Chains A and B, each alone.
Chain A
Amino acid sequence: MTSAASFTEAVSGLWVYWLIIVLMMVGLYIVIARDNLVKKVMGLNIFQAAAILFYVSMAKVEGGTAPIVPQDAGHGAGHEGHEILYSNPLPHVLMLTAIVVGVATTALALALAVRIHREYGTSEEDEAVAWDMEHG
């Protein structure tokens, strides 16, 4: 019974982590299993998105609002004892950088895929490798 209880707890309490891990493995699987270079890039994107989701979900505070101080917050007197709960802005800001990194990586990967297509006449990795084997 206890193990069943702890299992449901692990699923319901940590569902975000499960989601992230599943998403991550989906991405990784695509990178490994697909031969098409563009699909590989998509897999990498999903992989990165999982990590970004991890940061974003980590920073979310239950019941917390966007970390922007309301305009009337400065007029203290009427608001005593009324605390506003904010989400943690730092990981969200970090993820802006990570998204930029992801976009740069995708752009570069696609540029390389275009060059590979021009050189080999295919976007399939296995065909390109086979071509190299044949022609040295």
Chain B
Amino acid sequence: MPGLTDHFVVLEVVLPLLAAPACVLIRNPRVTRLFSLGIVAACFAIAVALLIQVRGGGVISYHLGGWPPPLGIEYRVSTVNAYLLVLVTAMALVVMSFDSRGGPPRVSESRRHLYYAVFLLCVCGLLGITITGDAFNIFVFLEISSLSSYILVSLGGHRRAVMSAFHYLVMGTIGGVFFMLGVGLLYQATGTLNLREIAERLEPSLDDRGAVLALALLVVGISIKLAVFPLHHWLPNAYSFAPPKVSAFLAATATKVSFYLLATILFVIFGAPFVFGELRLHVVLMPLSILAMFLASGAAIFQTDLRRLLAYSSVAQVGYMTLGLSTANATGLAGGLVHLFNHAVMKGGLFLVVACLLHRVGAVHLDALAGVGRRMPVTCAALVIGGLSLIGVPGTVGFVSKWYLVSGVLERGWTAAAVLILLSSLLAVVYVGRVVEALYFRQPAEDHVRPGLREAPFAMLAPTWILIAAAIVFGLTTNWTYGVAAEAAGLLLQGGI
């Protein structure tokens, strides 16, 4: 079929979009599961094909409906977003294949097809944000992914999951409206919605109130979705009460896509010379990133629930990414982008371990986990490796990220920040250490002894270990991850997508 490959770009988004209502029509839980798994696998294959095509500076521009931009909507794939497409689809595939028995426990068998429909919509939204080159199109996909993730969070089973979903919805909607207003101001200033056209026509300066306001609205709007430090309030609750599978997927993808969006807005549309030269955004972003690293890691230390601990650690990790962004040099930005991938792999893996533990132990309080390490060695080994990666021990992906982040920060001349990165890793040692201590060195309390406790089923362990293994493999060979991230960072700094 000669024509089909030309349409890969749009199929990447259209496949999950059409598959979602198809799931609702199919109804049968087993069939919908296999069907959506197949769709996600197809999306993954397409994403890999696209990345191979654009590696080395290529760009694919796809005109929706044959209308050329700036009139029509353009989908545009370059190394920067192809990298993210692969990440999102890979994570979706791993999380989908996790546990053959399917959806979260709260969802009854007769409604399970709806869970898959919503999951596919979330994937569709995230891929759409990444692939599109049209500002308003981004807003629409942002809301598709957000609305479906509110639903996914509310399926957590605990009553607080519903409350967290509501909070998430309120915060997310405010962020979305800010984003929409920002896009409106950009349209007012340039008369176009195509990202590249906007970038060409916009000549931002400090005197241009409209441009500065647009930047402010866009940055705050996205920062809410990205959970940048003082706007992270929704994240710990949402991630700790959502079904762990959902947390694994959202932690690995949703904030990452927002990070990409933030980088695009700052570097492509407004340009580094304006944002970091004239406006000096790093004066705000750098201290906030460092505060996130310390306060969120500090909060993680005091959590007694493993899910909350990991959620707070996510806020801290977003801090590392935005710190890389605020250096605005090639090494630091590449460090941020490589951390995006690395954190997705390790945090996705860790939340899947949580799902395994929850499945067997029934609770993930540190007290309930006392001594579990000896009964479920394979599962807990995954947790330990993921934890070491969070700390940044050499040989894991966490080390790779921190290495490039520290080099980027030093290149920028922020010696103190480099020292703080290393110090904040010590906080990670403490919170990971608490988990390890509970798992291996503590005797289970009388009422927590479970005679029949065994290893998690293979269908759960395999996807978990794929991610954890990836955390080691990409920690040892950085050609793929850092290579692509460096290329993407170079493109972003030139202002090209």
Query: Do the two shown chains form a genuine complex with each other?
Result: yes
Chain A contact residues, CB within 8 Å of chain B: 28, 31, 37, 40, 44, 47-48, 51, 54-55, 58, 90-91, 94, 97-98, 101, 104-105, 108-109, 112-113, 115-116, 119-120, 128-129, 132
- A113 CB contacts on chain B under 8 angstroms: 166
B262 an interface residue at 8 Å Cβ cutoff? no
Q: Known contacts A58-B184, A119-B159, A120-B159: does B169 contact A112 (CB below 8 Å)?
A: yes
Asked if A101 contacts B143 (CB within 8 A), the reply is yes
Asked if B166 contacts A54 (CB within 8 A), the reply is no
A129, B136: Cα distance in complex, Å: 36
Asked if A91 contacts B166 (CB within 8 A), the reply is no
Asked if B173 contacts A112 (CB within 8 A), the reply is no
Asked if A91 contacts B184 (CB within 8 A), the reply is yes
A136 to chain B: closest residue by CB:
B160
A55, B135: Cα distance in complex, Å: 14
Q: Which of B146-154, B355-363, B416-424 contacts A (4 or more CB under 8 A)?
A: B146-154
Q: State how many angstroms separate the Cβ of A43 from the closest Cβ of chain B.
A: 9
Q: Contact check: which of A51, A97, A101 meets B181 at CB < 8 Å?
A: A51
Interface residue total, chain B, C-beta cutoff 8 A: 26
Q: Known contacts A48-B173, A94-B136, A108-B151: does B184 contact A116 (CB below 8 Å)?
A: no
Asked if A104 contacts B159 (CB within 8 A), the reply is no
B250 an interface residue at 8 Å Cβ cutoff? no
Q: Known contacts A55-B184, A104-B147, A105-B169: does B174 contact A31 (CB below 8 Å)?
A: yes
B10 an interface residue at 8 Å Cβ cutoff? no
A113, B193: Cα distance in complex, Å: 35
- B415 CB contacts on chain A under 8 angstroms: none
A28, B170: Cα distance in complex, Å: 10
| CB<8 Å pairs between A and B, sample of 28 | A31-B170, A40-B170, A44-B173, A47-B174, A48-B173, A51-B177, A55-B180, A55-B184, A91-B184, A97-B136, A97-B140, A101-B140, A101-B147, A104-B143, A105-B147, A105-B169, A108-B147, A108-B150, A108-B169, A109-B166, A112-B150, A112-B165, A115-B162, A116-B163, A119-B162, A120-B159, A132-B160, A132-B163
Asked if B173 contacts A115 (CB within 8 A), the reply is no
A105 to chain B: closest residue by CB:
B173
Q: Contact check: which of A51, A104, A120 meets B184 at CB < 8 Å?
A: A51
Q: State how many angstroms separate the Cβ of B281 from the closest Cβ of chain A.
A: 23
- B140 CB contacts on chain A under 8 angstroms: 97, 101
B403 an interface residue at 8 Å Cβ cutoff? no
* CB contact list, B425-479 vs A, under 8 A: none
B188 an interface residue at 8 Å Cβ cutoff? yes
A104, B184: Cα distance in complex, Å: 21
- B274 CB contacts on chain A under 8 angstroms: none
B8 an interface residue at 8 Å Cβ cutoff? no
What 6 pairs across the A-B complex have the smallest Cβ distances?
A119-B159, A101-B143, A112-B166, A115-B162, A51-B177, A51-B181
* CB contact list, B230-264 vs A, under 8 A: none
A98, B173: Cα distance in complex, Å: 12
Asked if B184 contacts A112 (CB within 8 A), the reply is no
Q: State how many angstroms separate the Cβ of A5 from the closest Cβ of chain B.
A: 19
A37, B163: Cα distance in complex, Å: 10
- A97 CB contacts on chain B under 8 angstroms: 136, 140
A109, B169: Cα distance in complex, Å: 7
A48, B136: Cα distance in complex, Å: 15
Q: State how many angstroms separate the Cβ of A101 from the closest Cβ of chain B.
A: 5
A45, B399: Cα distance in complex, Å: 45
- A47 CB contacts on chain B under 8 angstroms: 173-174, 177
B187 an interface residue at 8 Å Cβ cutoff? yes
Bitwise, B109-153 to A at CB < 8 A (1) or not (0) is 000000000000000000000000000100110010001001100
